[in-house]
Amino acid sequence: MDRVLAVLGDGKPKSHREIIEATGLSDDAVWSALKRCWRKGLILRSERPLREPYRALKGRAGVRRNLRSYHLYVKAPEGRSMLIIDGLRFVGFEEGKPSGEHQVSKARLILDFLAEHRDRAFFSKEVAEALKDKGVRLPDVMSNVRRFERMGLVYVRGYRSHDRQTPFKEGYLLTWIDRDKPRTDAIGEAVERTEKALAGRASTNPIIERVHRIRDMAIAASKTRDLLSFPYIVEELKCSDYEAEQALMRALQLYPDLREVKVFGAYRYIYHESMAEEDLRAAVALKENYIRVEKGRDNRIGHNWEAAVEWFIDKYTPGAVFREQPHRTPGMDPRRITLHLLKPVGGRRSNAEVDRVWTVTPGLFSPPTTYVLECKYGLIHRRDVDDFLEVLRWSKEFGVDTPEGRMVKQGIVGVFAGTTFDPNEKVTLRDESRVNLAAYAGHLNVHLLKASDFNAKLGERGCAPNVTVQRICRLARDEGEVRMALDAIWRSPDRAEDILAGIAARNQELYEFEKMLEKGLKPELEKALKPENH
């Protein structure tokens, strides 16, 4: 005690570790002396513990990092039981008032909670929420539960894969193990409680769950003599195209009874080998007719949308130089650019197309900026933006390897143009904040262009509210007619209605043909695809 008091005699607050270094005493000796001095009123202790990150070199095990909590101690002035130094409050020992040493620890709170509710299983987030008023946070739960798991007190369950276990969306699932029962029975009951908590949700690795669902959907479709399309798989799994592609590839590897067929060499369908050969031929023929009806009009409007976006970019971007590329396919726009992929992205193995690429040089001494455009006519979801960014990252032209992984090169900016972005879709960022799709795209340095942005420019020019870019795309025969219509409307906005009426009159034969296909084939296809008609 004398040596500890001598070290604290300078009036400067010191931690337990600093006192050990100054006195040369052992850890236990210092703790014992501090406890006795504090109880006798010879020293004061900081009212609340201080916390700081601590790094310790553990030899071959590397550097360990943790958050260290500690108190500061100072010699008590004569006749005083409280002191404030640099805004930190130091107090003396009070009989009957629990000190930090005697307060219930967070570990004990967590263990007692699981023991009191031993007939249920809880996610780690639920435990933290139940004990948050007692100071327990989410990181406190698993750091203590892992110790209880090693002691055989708590059963911990998560997604299981081949070589590891990962948490569910709400964290790991925790439940008490009754030590008064035989070990086999106690663990069996713990597993049953977790099964009840997981009822109606995935209990294994998400990839495995997707594989099982794909096989189930393929069997169900084959029973109704139908084929399972890749877009339907993506929509049902509620995942990105890349995740669905990985799951589908794995399903085809694991289950040899699953088959894949391509219609027109581009549209992928899955079926089960139990489907009869004649039923398969009929289903493929139905899909071919369905694609002719649906994709013909969709492709026309989609290409028209690309031309409309290009027209506005060219109009409002001084000095924009569009990149061109010759193509073997007749009639393909030379401004559509083919990129070379270093790894498959969303079903595209070695190549991917982007709709436009242009470069802007702000000034003589300013570095040029290259913009890459992707267009989609329809409702845009997060997976569309993610897929576009993956193409840029893994393209030979616009991606680069960095210490943090594959990234988009400096000076390359992605631009995604869509008619409508899903207003209800929220994205959770790394800091757990939820933002809309526009803010998420900005976080990824992807610019979003909406049809409403272009319609606003037409309105500022003097066009009527019903003169919209969407209407122009639906009426125009091809990309050239879109550019011609926008040029004419821009020159004479007061004649916009007459210009669109003229386009509609010229293309009446095209519309009639599309309507004929839609009325003549589509109802028959929909009727034939219903299970009760097979």
Q: Is the pLDDT of residue 4 over 70?
A: yes
Q: What is the predicted pLDDT for the residue at 60?
A: 66
Q: Residue range 413-431: average pLDDT?
A: 84
CATH class, 2-91 region? mainly alpha
- Say yes or no: do domains 2-91 and 106-197 share a fold: yes
Say which residue, 208 or 123, is predicted with more confidence: 123
In the chain, where the domains are located: 2-91, 106-197, 212-275, 295-519
Helix axes 230-237, 206-223, angle to 10 degrees: 130
For domain 106-197, which CATH number applies: 1.10.10.10, 1.10.10.60, 3.40.190.10, 3.40.50.300? 1.10.10.10
The sign one gets for the Cα dihedral 32, 33, 38, 40 is positive
493 pLDDT tier (thresholds 50, 70, 90): very high
435 pLDDT tier (thresholds 50, 70, 90): confident
How far apart, in Å, do the first and last CA atoms of the chain sit? 93
Q: What is the predicted pLDDT for the residue at 481?
A: 94
Burial class (CB in 10 A: 0-12, 13-18, 19+), 320: middle
- 401 vs 119, 192, 218, 519, CA distance in Å? 51, 47, 38, 52
Q: Strand 369-380 relative to strand 412-421: parallel, antiparallel, unpaired?
A: parallel
201 pLDDT tier (thresholds 50, 70, 90): low
The sign one gets for the Cα dihedral 401, 407, 410, 416 is positive
Nearest to 390 by CA among 203, 199, 243, 273: 243
The sign one gets for the Cα dihedral 504, 509, 513, 516 is positive
- 221 vs 180, 257, 258, 481, CA distance in Å? 51, 14, 12, 42
Which stretches does DSSP call E strand in 81-184? 82-85, 88-91, 121-123, 154-157, 159-160, 165-166, 173-176
> What is the rounded CA–CA span in Å between residue 357 and residue 395?
14
pLDDT in tens, 240-255: 777 888 888 888 888 8
Q: What is the predicted pLDDT for the residue at 532?
A: 42
Q: Residue range 268-294: average pLDDT?
A: 83
Nearest to 413 by CA among 377, 448, 365, 454: 448
Q: What is the predicted pLDDT for the residue at 523?
A: 45
Q: Residue range 412-426: average pLDDT?
A: 86
* Side-by-side strand order, sheet with 228-229: 228-229, 267-272, 258-263
